[in-house]
């Protein structure tokens, strides 16, 4: 296989979220849909609540070690990430957060070269610090503002990367020629 995954394998995103339905229509339209239909892109959307361990399927709690407000707990996120890592322990885990590294066209180009990327969507007032320490490889921010969750940033990342995958855009709309 001299040319890596290019000929036969899609770039795979695995998304962890408590709002999986937010991904339904954005992935079902336009260029992103075409990339998925043509087997160049795969997006798995995983409900974090499936990894909760109580009857209420809780994913938030008071912060470990004290502090105000509620944060997403480490345990369900840890189980979700470990379940997804079982296929490929080296898959990069990206956490969408306002404190992350600014998202750029160059970042999209780099991510399009990965085989498998796990996108972690946070909610509430943040995430248990242990999640960052243990599971997160990289933090990305789509801009200098706060949203109610990481779902829209994850969709921005998927969209920007999808159009950089070789074969997704036609020659007329070549990704390399774009100026912005």
Catalytic residue status for 125: yes
What DSSP assignment string belongs to 2-71? TTTTTTT--EEEEEEES-GGGGTTGGGSHHHHHHHHTTSEEEEEEEGGGG--STT---EESPTT--SS-E
One residue of 131, 142, 160, 161 binding ligand 4G3 per CB under 6 A: 142
Burial class (CB in 10 A: 0-12, 13-18, 19+), 55: exposed
What's the min distance (Å) between Cβ of 71 and ligand 4G3?
9
Q: Is 98 in the site for ligand 4G3 (CB under 6 A)?
A: yes
Identify whether the C-beta of residue 135 lies closer than 8 Å to the C-beta of residue 91. Answer: no
Measured from the CB atom, is 145 or 180 closer to ligand 4G3?
Answer: 145
One residue of 4, 39, 102, 143 binding ligand 4G3 per CB under 6 A: 143
Measured from the CB atom, is 79 or 132 closer to ligand 4G3?
Answer: 132
Active site residues: 98, 125, 163, 178
User: Which residues bind to ligand 4G3, rule: CB under 6 A?
Assistant: 96-98, 122, 126-127, 141-143, 145-147, 149-150, 153
């Amino acid at each position: 296989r001299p040319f890596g995954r290019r000929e036969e394998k899609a770039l795979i995103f695995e998304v962890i979220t408590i709002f999986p339905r937010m991904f339904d229509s954005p992935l079902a339209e336009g260029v992103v849909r075409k990339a998925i239909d043509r087997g160049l892109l795969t997006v798995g959307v995983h409900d974090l609540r499936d990894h909760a361990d109580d009857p209420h399927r809780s994913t938030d709690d008071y912060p470990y070690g004290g502090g105000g407000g509620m944060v997403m707990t480490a345990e369900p996120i840890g189980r979700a990430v470990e379940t997804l890592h079982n296929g490929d322990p080296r898959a990069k885990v990206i956490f969408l957060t306002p404190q992350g590294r600014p998202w750029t066209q160059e970042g999209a180009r780099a991510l399009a070269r990965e085989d498998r990327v796990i996108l972690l969507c946070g909610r509430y007032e943040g995430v248990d610090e242990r999640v960052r320490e243990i599971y997160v490889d990289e933090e990305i921010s789509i801009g200098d503002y706060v949203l109610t969750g990481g779902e829209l940033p994850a969709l921005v990342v998927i969209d920007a990367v999808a159009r950089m995958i070789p074969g997704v855009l036609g020659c007329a709309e070549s990704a390399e020629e774009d100026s912005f």
